[in-house]
Structure 1
Amino acid sequence: MDFFEFIGIVTVAYYLFYIIYPWFLDCDLNLSIRETFGQPITNLRGKVVWITGASSGIGEHLAYALAKVNCKLILSARRLNELNRVKDNCLKASNEIQENDIEVLVMDVSDVSKHQKLLDHVITKFGKLDILVNNAGRSQRAIWENIDLEVDKEMFNLNTFSIISLSRLVYKYFDKIGHGHFVVTSSIAGIMGVPFSGTYTGSKHALHGYFESLRTEKMNKNIPISMICPGPIQTPFLSQAFTEKSGEKFGQDCDVAKNKISGERCGHLIAVAIANKVNECWIAHCTTLQLTYLGKYYPNIAQTIIYLFGPQLFQRLRDNKVTVNAK
């Protein structure tokens, strides 16, 4: 076997590995390796973590994963009763964490005028902030050309601009103390075009633009940025999703489906990503994960598959049913 034959075999083996192995995963290869061989979640013990959008879904389950390793938590969202429920469950998840280690901080993240006051409260309460988890946001189901421009503005204010506003204030604090960690809940829709969620997809793409710009501008190893990109997760997000009309909610329940990752598993994997300070991770059922790999690295193949199966493929992967009837 000469040198070029060896290189050819290695190349073919490499691509086959990336085609086959993701079918056995529920997250990207890098995160899977970190889960097994990387830094343990227990390394986060004692860290002060502020989670926005913590009253349900991904934020709620991340709070439980962090409570188990005795992080100090600030839980923020608009619904006080739900935040108190999450706090109670966090206290039950750990034998060591105390009542004073978890702060319920009611917050409408879209009210950017209060961000500085809330950040000051966090610092006063715990004396520091180590990790900001930007998790607040809502999804969308709508036909692209029918979306009212007011919906675009409302969703960007919630999913993008409110996050940037809070993060700019927190960055100044992190820069002052010399360390910190941004965790941003994006989506597979943040790296791929997803049908019937035009505004949502745009708002998540924008987050990548903002934070990748920050990463390149500062190149600060002491303030890592972790972009978290979940696919379909078994959480009650659909009922609160935006539609094409301002002030309207989609109002449908999410079906329980095998092609969705459980909230518990998603929360655990995000905790792994935080402990290992990954730049970006994908969390999804193997079918969605494989389609993401194709879309990212083999776009021509991905486009062929999409044209063959149509936009309904995405709807069935995401919602386990057709939620928006295409015209």
Structure 2
Amino acid sequence: MAWDCGWACVVALLLGAVALLRLALRWVRADGDLTLLWAEWRGRRPEKELPGKVVWVTGASSGIGEELAYQLAKIGALLALSARRQDELERVKKRCLEISSLSENDILVLRLDLTERSSHEAATKAVLQHFGRIDILVNNGGRSQRSLFVDTSVDVYNAIMELNYLGTISLTKHVLNHMIERKKGKIVTVSSVMGIMGAPLATGYCASKHALQGFFNSLRPELWEYPGIVITNICPGPVQSKIIHNVFTEELTKSLEKPGDQSHKMSTDRCVRLTLVSIVNDLKEAWISDNPYLAVCYLWQYAPTWAWWLLGRIGKKRIQNFKRGVDADASYYQKVAA
């Protein structure tokens, strides 16, 4: 009997180890936090929840914003597309019409500069006049950064905060007034995993995203009287988009000379799909990233002392990559030639 019990325990331990290994392997392959992946598996679907919804997307002329426009158009959402470049917005609208059953009037192109805060009230009224309502605001407009603090003008930090932070909350304020009147709506802000952790070469960008995280996490409980208004923070990691081509550098007038290869990063369409899943399932926050960034998010959340130690090591690699003219994140995904 003792022998049988002993072997039974061994078998049970082996089965348990196999189950844990499978879970670990699944987590290693994960591209979103566990709450988000559960919502993708068992939650509400964008195809059922978003048709006919009026969605205003800022930063819609490229990258995540452009892909959001395409996926929302295919689903059948009504779109207000904003960015600074009118011609690029018209290009995105044309493509949306080609890939969907939407009509010309279902897509409003509205040029908008987030730094021109005096224009935000009129822009909001223009969307309301066209559609009669705003169901979802997606705060996606913004710029990243690639420069060392010691080399960077303070004017750059002022511009980053003006665009990424103040411009976003200014537009939100006008749209929120409308949603409060209706007692429903969704405000979705594309933050970043750098709104959770820190990273060298992006001190100003990280600061702006931390500011957005703090603002919207504080705004959410202020709206307790309006349970129909949902605040969602989306935190993508490195994504294949043109954001790296338009980053702030050490001077306002200087562009990044060598953006490097971006193919190792998460595809934009996958990031947007998970963003839409987050929106329809009313998630308060979603981490969307491949590893190792996703693993570092968990570490930063639950073991910050280890996260600081790790950042000190991988931060050195980011700076070395940057100085050699390759993408700062490249060495996490592939070997970089010496």
TM-score for both structures, normalised by structure 2: 0.86
Secondary structure in 1 aligned to 2:187?
A: strand
- Whether 1:98 and 2:103 are equivalent positions in the alignment is yes
Structure number with larger C-alpha Rg: 2
Structure-2 separation of matches of 1:318 and 1:26: 20
Q: Residue 194 and residue 150 in structure 1: after superposition, are their counterparts in 2 closer, same or farther (change >3 A)?
A: same
Q: Which moved more, 1:48-57 or 1:36-45?
A: 36-45
Aligned residue in 2 for 1:225? 231
Cα deviation digits, residues 107-151 of structure 1 (max 9, x gap)? 112101111111101000011110111110000011123321111
Change (3 A) 1:300 1:286: same
Q: How does 1:1-327 map to 2 (within 5 A)?
A: 21-42=26-47, 43-94=49-100, 96-219=101-224, 220-258=226-264, 260-312=265-317, 319-320=329-330
* Cα 1:31/1:250, change in 2 over 3 Å: same
1:277 match: secondary structure: coil
CA contact 2:199–2:311 (8 Å) conserved in 1: no
Per-residue deviation, residues 256-286 of structure 1 (Å, max 9, x unmatched): 333x111111111111111111110111112
* Residues 78 and 107, structure 1, Cα contact 8 Å, conserved in 2: yes
Structure 1 window deviating more from structure 2 (202-211 vs 217-226): it is 217-226
**In structure 2, what is the Cα distance between the partners aligned to 1:176 and 1:159?**
26
TM-score, normalised to structure 1, is 0.88
Q: Aligned AA for 2:43?
A: G
Give the % identical residues: 40
CA distance in 2, matches of 1:63, 1:122: 16
Letter in 2 for 1:173: H
CA distance in 2, matches of 1:137, 1:90: 22
* 1:229–1:17 distance in 2 versus 1, CA, 3 Å: farther
The CA deviation at 1:232 is 0.4
Structure 1 residue 313, shift from structure 2 partner: 5.0
Q: Which has the higher contact order (CA 8 A, sep 6+)?
A: 1
Give how far 1:291 is off: 1.7
Q: Which moved more, 1:278-287 or 1:313-322?
A: 313-322
Structure 1 residues 248 and 36: alpha-carbon distance in aligned structure 2, compared to 1, 3 A threshold: same
Paired residue type of 1:246: L
Q: Deviations over 1:44-64 (max 9, x none)?
A: 110000000000001011111
**Partner Cα distance (2:84, 2:316) in 1:** 34
| Distance in structure 2 (CA, Å) of the matches to 1:318 and 1:69 | 35
Could you tell me how far apart the structure 2 residues matched to 1:240 and 1:306 are?
A: 25
After TM superposition, give the deviation of residue 251 of structure 1 in Å. Answer: 4.1
- 1:140 counterpart SS class: coil
**Structure-2 separation of matches of 1:73 and 1:15:** 44
The AA in structure 2 aligned to 1:24 is: R
Structure 2 gaps of 5+ residues are 1-12, 333-338
CA distance in 1 between partners of 2:128 and 2:21 (Å): 49
- C-alpha change, 1:264 and 1:33, in structure 2 (3 Å) is same
Distance 1:300 1:14 in 2: 29
Superposition CA RMSD, Å: 2.4
User: Structure 1 residue 318: deviation in Å?
Assistant: 5.2
Q: Does structure 1 retain, via aligned residues, the 8 Å contact 2:317–2:328?
A: no
| Conserved 8 A contact 1:236-1:254 | no
Decide whether aligned partners of structure 1 residues 117 and 292 sit closer, same or farther in structure 2, where only a CA change above 3 A counts: same
